[in-house]
Structure 1
Amino acid sequence: MREPAPWHQGTWQSLTMQQHFAHAYLFSGQAGCGKRRFATAFAAFLLCDAPAAGIACDQCRSCHLRLAGSHPDLLLLEPEEEGKAIRVDAVRQLVDFISQTAQQGGRKVVLLRPAEAMNLNAANALLKSLEEPSAETYLLLVSDQPSRLLPTIRSRCRVQPLELPAPEQAAVWLSEQLPERSAQDCSLLLQMAGGAPLRAMALAQLDALSQREKVVEGIKALLKGQIAPSRLAEQWNPLPIELLLDWFCAWTLDLLKLQQGAVETAASADMDKVLGYMAKKVEIAQLLAWQDWLLEHRRLFASKANLNRVLFLEKALVQWKNLLERR
C-alpha cells in the first residue's frame, strides 16, 4: 500500500507536507481502522526517491526494492506468529539495523507492529534507540492498545491517532470493496467490526456472516431447550473463538443497555428479540458477574492462555442460559 485509507487523507496531507519529521511515530487507533495501511504508506513515502503529491512513486529504484520485499533500508518487525510476543532478540536486530549506514544512501525506516506485542525486555531494548535516534532513521510503531506500551516509549514518540470513518463513509467504502454483498450484509459486517472498515473486510473473508447466522440459531435453540450446552459447544468448536467472544461481549452490552433503559432495541438486530426477552428476565447482579467472567476469559484467550476451548464454550453456554433461570 502506498496510499492511506480515504478517511485518513486529511491526516496524511498534514503529515507529509511537513518539512521535518519526528524520528519516531506511534500510530494508534481501533483495530481495523487503517493504521497498518497508513504506516506502510508512510514508510513507502519516506523511502521513495521522488514522491509525487505526497505519495511514493512506485517507479524509482527504492520503490522497486520495496515492492520486491528486498529494500535493505526497510525493516519490518512483527511477532513470528500472530498473537505471540515480539521478543528482545528481534529488537536487538532493530538496534543493529539502526547502527548501520543506509545502504541506499537515504533514509532508513523501521515498521514495528503491533507495538504492544513487545515483551518487557524487548520494550526496554527499544528505549535506547528512541533515546539516541540516528540521523535519517525513522521508527514507525503501530498499536491497537497504546496504553499497554511503556509510558517512556509513548513519551518518546509523536503520537498520531487515526480515527474511524463516519458510518456513511464506511458503508460506501465497504460496499465498493464487496460489490457482491448487499447493503444489509455490509451494515452487519460493520456492526460486528465496531465500525472499522478493514476489520469488516477481514470478517467477510472469514465468512463471518454465515457463521454468525449459525451461532444465533444455536443460541435460540439453547434457550428453548432444544439443544444441550455440551452439544452446542462441540458444534461451535471449529469457529474462531475471537468472533464468539466478540459477539457475546456485544450481546452482553446490549443486555445491560436494554435493562437499564438506555436503548429501546438492541444494536445487534439479528438478536433483538432474544435480547429483548432476556433483558426482562435477568438480574443486574448476575449480568454484571457474567460480564466480568466473560471479559476475563476474553483477556486470557487474547494472551494465548492454554484453555480448553470446548470446556470453556460449554461453561459459557451454561452460564448464559442460567441468566434466565436464576430469577
Structure 2
Amino acid sequence: MHCCHGFWSVFVDKVFPWQAGLWQQLAGRSRHAHAYLLHGPAGIGKRRLAESLMARLLCQQPAGLDACGQCKACHLLAAGTHPDNFVLEPEEADKAIRVDQVRELVEFVVQTAQLGGRKVVLLEPAEAMNLNSANALLKSLEEPSGDTVLLLISHQPSRLLPTIKSRCVQQACPLPDRSQSLAWLAQALPESGSDDREELLVLAGGSPLTALRLHEQGAREQRALVVEGVKKLLKQQVAPSQLAEGWNAVPLLLLFDWFCDWAHLMLRYQLTRDEEGLGLNDMRKVVQYLADKAPQPKVLAIQDWLLAQRQKILSKANLNRVLLLEALLVQWASLPGPG
C-alpha cells in the first residue's frame, strides 16, 4: 500500500494556480492538525494539493512552503518507497475501501516513523469507506500515535460519517472561477478553439481537470452523436432500439448526466420561461420544444427515473445497457403529448 503514483511531478508542477492561496494557508501552518479533510467537487486538483502537502510534511529540509525535492525523504517519496508514507485508495476504481485495508493503515499509524520524522497517510476518496471501514478508521483519527498526519480527500463530503468529519480539520477546496479555468485549459489544450474549451468546461460543471479528461475521452464528439440521435428520435426517423445500439461507445454515466441535465433545463424553462437558461446551444431548441410540449408531471417523472438510474450506474449495479437505454429513449420520445 505504500504507493505513490508519478510522484516526482509534484515537485515539478506544485499545486494548480487556483490553489495558491489555499496552499499558503495549509503549507504555512506552524503546527499541523493530525487529520485534514480536503473536500470539494471532483476534477479541481484536490489530489495534487494533498500530495504536495504530503511531500512538504515528509521533507527533511523544506524550502519555504515547498518540499526541497533533494533530501533523502524526497528521493524516497519520488521513488514510491518512503517507509513513512501510506496511500489508501480502493483496489479497483469505484469500488469500496475494505475494512482490512483500513486495518493495514491502522497498523501503519501505530508504528514508529522509520526516518525519525512524521508519518503521513493519504486516503482518497474518503466516501469510498463503508460503515465498517469508517469505524475502523475512527480510532486512528481520535488519537493518532506519534507525529502522524492523515490527509483525507472527499468529492462528496455529505456521504461521510459525522464522526469522521468532526475529527478532521475541514478544508473546503472551491471550484476555480471560470476565467482561471479557461486560462488553464488554454495552456493545457492550445490546439483547441476557445469555444470548444468553454463548451468542455460547461460539460464538466466548471471543473477544469474534468474538462481536460472529457476532451481526452472525445466527449464533445460523443455528445454531437447523441444530440443528432435525439433529434432524429423526436422526428421519428430512428427507433429507440437502433439508437441504443448506436451509442455503444458513449459511457453510460455521461449519457445519464446529459439527459438529467436536459430534464432539469426543461423544468427550469417551464417554471421561469427564461430563454437564457436553456443550456448549451446544441440542444436549446429541443429543450425549449420539449418544455413547451410535455406536461410538467411527465417531465418530473422522467427526471425522477433518470436520477434513480444514474444512482444505480454510480453504484456499479449490474445493468443491461441496451435495455436501459431503450427504456430511456421510449420515455423520451413520448414526452411531447398528453400525460
TM-score by length of 1: 0.97
Is it true that 1:159 corresponds to 2:170 in the alignment?
yes
How far the C-alpha of 1:310 sits from its partner, in A, is: 0.9
Is it true that 1:269 corresponds to 2:281 in the alignment?
yes
1:296 aligned to which of 308, 320, 326: 308
* Residues 4-32 of structure 1, C-alpha deviations (whole Å, 9 max, x = no match): 21111111101111110110000000111
- Aligned CA-pair RMSD: 1.1
SS in 2 for 1:301: helix
1:241 aligned to which of 238, 243, 252: 252
Any gaps of 5 or more consecutive residues in structure 1?
none
How far the C-alpha of 1:135 sits from its partner, in A, is: 2.2
How far the C-alpha of 1:53 sits from its partner, in A, is: 2.9
SS in 2 for 1:38: helix
Any gaps of 5 or more consecutive residues in structure 2?
1-9
Bigger Cα displacement from structure 2, 178-187 vs 257-266: 257-266
Q: Which residue of 1 aligns with 2:86?
A: 75
Q: Distance in 2 between matches of 1:184 and 1:20?
A: 45
Alignment map for 1:17-166 (pairs within 5 Å): 17-166=28-177
Q: Is the 8 A contact 1:255 1:278 kept in 2?
A: yes
Q: Aligned AA for 1:299?
A: Q
Q: Distance in 2 between matches of 1:271 and 1:174?
A: 24
Q: Aligned AA for 1:140?
A: L
Q: Which residue of 2 aligns with 1:305?
A: 317
Q: Distance in 2 between matches of 1:56 and 1:283?
A: 59
Q: Distance in 2 between matches of 1:114 and 1:223?
A: 40
* Residues 181-217 of structure 1, C-alpha deviations (whole Å, 9 max, x = no match): 1111111110011000011111111111111111111
* Residues 56-75 of structure 1, C-alpha deviations (whole Å, 9 max, x = no match): 22221111111111111111
SS in 2 for 1:37: helix
Q: Distance in 1 between matches of 2:71 and 2:256?
A: 46
Percentage of matched positions with identical amino acids: 56
Q: Is the 8 A contact 1:254 1:268 kept in 2?
A: no
Alignment map for 1:169-208 (pairs within 5 Å): 169-208=180-219
Q: Which residue of 1 aligns with 2:298?
A: 286
SS in 1 for 2:293: coil
